[in-house]
Amino acid sequence: MAADLSSIGVWASGPRPPAFDPQPLVDLIHEVRQPVHVVRDPRGGRLGVAVAGQVIAASATNGHPTLPLMGSLPALYPEWLGDRSFNEVHQVRFPYVAGAMANGIATTELVIAMAQAGMLGFFGAAGLTRDRVSAALDELQATLGDRYSWGSNLIHSPNEPDLEASIADLYIERGVHRVSASAYMGLTPAIVRYACTGLSVDTAGNIQRRNHVFAKISRPEVARRFMAPAPKDILDQLVGQGLLTADEANLAARVPVAEDYTVEADSGGHTDNQTLTAVFPVVLDLRDAMMRKHQYTRPIRIGAGGGLGTPSAVAAAFSLGAAYVLTGSVNQGAVESGLCDEGRKLLAQAGMGDVMMAPAADMFEIGVKVQVLKRGTMFAVRAQQLYDHYIAYDGIEFMPEDVRTKLERNVLGATCDEIWAGTREFFLEREPQEVERAEGDPKHRMALVFRWYLGLSSRWAIAGDPARRMDYQIWCGPAMGAFNDWVKGSFLEAPESRQAVQIARNLLEGAAVVTRAQQLRSYGVPVPPEAFHYPPRPLSEN
Q: Is 512 inside a domain boundary?
A: no
In terms of domains, do 152 and 293 share one?
yes
Q: How many CB atoms lie within 10 A of CB 17?
A: 13
User: Going by C-beta distance under 8 Å and a sequence separation of 6 or more, which residues neighbour residue 157?
Assistant: 163, 164, 362
In terms of domains, do 449 and 462 share one?
yes
Handedness of CA 336, 342, 348, 352 (dihedral sign): negative
pLDDT for 42 equals: 84
- Looking at 440, 455, 473, the residue that finishes a domain is 473
Query: CA-to-CA distance for 384 and 388, rounded, in angstroms?
Result: 6
Tell whether the model's pLDDT for residue 542 goes beyond 70.
Answer: no
Q: How many CB atoms lie within 10 A of CB 240?
A: 9
Q: Is 67 inside a domain boundary?
A: yes
- Calculate the CA 463 to chain-centre distance: 24
pLDDT tens by residue, 55-84: 887 655 566 678 999 999 999 999 999 999
Query: CA-to-CA distance for 254 and 295, rounded, in angstroms?
Result: 8
Q: Is 407 inside a domain boundary?
A: yes
pLDDT tens by residue, 28-60: 999 999 999 999 998 888 999 999 888 887 655
Query: CA-to-CA distance for 534 and 311, rounded, in angstroms?
Result: 7
In terms of domains, do 226 and 107 share one?
yes
Count Cβ atoms within 10 A of the Cβ of residue 34 and give its class: 0-12 exposed, 13-18 middle, 19 or more buried: middle
Q: Is 355 inside a domain boundary?
A: yes
- Looking at 417, 446, 473, the residue that finishes a domain is 473
Counting every residue written for the chain, the total comes to 542
In terms of domains, do 120 and 221 share one?
yes
Q: Domain of 192: which CATH number?
A: 3.20.20.70
pLDDT for 3 equals: 39
User: Going by C-beta distance under 8 Å and a sequence separation of 6 or more, which residues neighbour residue 203?
Assistant: none
In terms of domains, do 116 and 188 share one?
yes
Determine the average pLDDT of the residues in 156-178: 92
**Among residues of the chain, what percentage have pLDDT more than 90?**
85
Q: For 226-237, b where at least 16 C-beta lie within 10 A, e where not — what string?
A: bbebbbeebbee
Number of domains in the chain: 3
Q: Is 487 inside a domain boundary?
A: no
In terms of domains, do 236 and 314 share one?
yes
| Residue 97 and residue 121 in contact, taking contact as beta carbons nearer than 8 Å | yes
Mean residue pLDDT of the chain comes to 94
pTM given for the model = 0.93
Handedness of CA 463, 464, 468, 470 (dihedral sign): positive
In terms of domains, do 294 and 326 share one?
yes
Q: Is 106 inside a domain boundary?
A: yes
pLDDT for 280 equals: 97
Give the DSSP H or E segment for 235. Answer: helix 232-240
pLDDT tens by residue, 467-516: 999 999 999 999 999 999 999 999 999 999 999 999 999 999 999 999 99
pLDDT for 8 equals: 84
pLDDT for 58 equals: 62
Q: What is the DSSP letter of 471?
A: G
| Residue 48 and residue 41 in contact, taking contact as beta carbons nearer than 8 Å | yes
Determine the average pLDDT of the residues in 515-539: 96
Query: CA-to-CA distance for 150 and 525, rounded, in angstroms?
Result: 41
State the DSSP string of 61-96: -TT--EEEEEEEE----GGGSS-HHHHHHHT-SSSE
Q: For 131-168, b where at least 16 C-beta lie within 10 A, e where not — what string?
A: eebeebbeebeebbeeebbbbbbbbbbebbeebbbebb
In terms of domains, do 128 and 32 share one?
no
In terms of domains, do 225 and 333 share one?
yes
In terms of domains, do 313 and 392 share one?
no
Nearest to 517 by CA among 508, 526, 504, 506: 526
In terms of domains, do 328 and 390 share one?
no
**Among residues of the chain, what percentage have pLDDT more than 70?**
97
Task: Give the structural domain span for 359.
Answer: 345-473
Q: Is 121 inside a domain boundary?
A: yes
In terms of domains, do 131 and 211 share one?
yes
Q: Is 30 inside a domain boundary?
A: yes
- Helix axis angle, 276-294 to 220-227, nearest 10°: 30
- Looking at 313, 339, 365, the residue that finishes a domain is 339
In this structure, what are the phi and psi dihedrals at residue 192, rounded to the nearest 5 degrees?
Answer: -65, -45
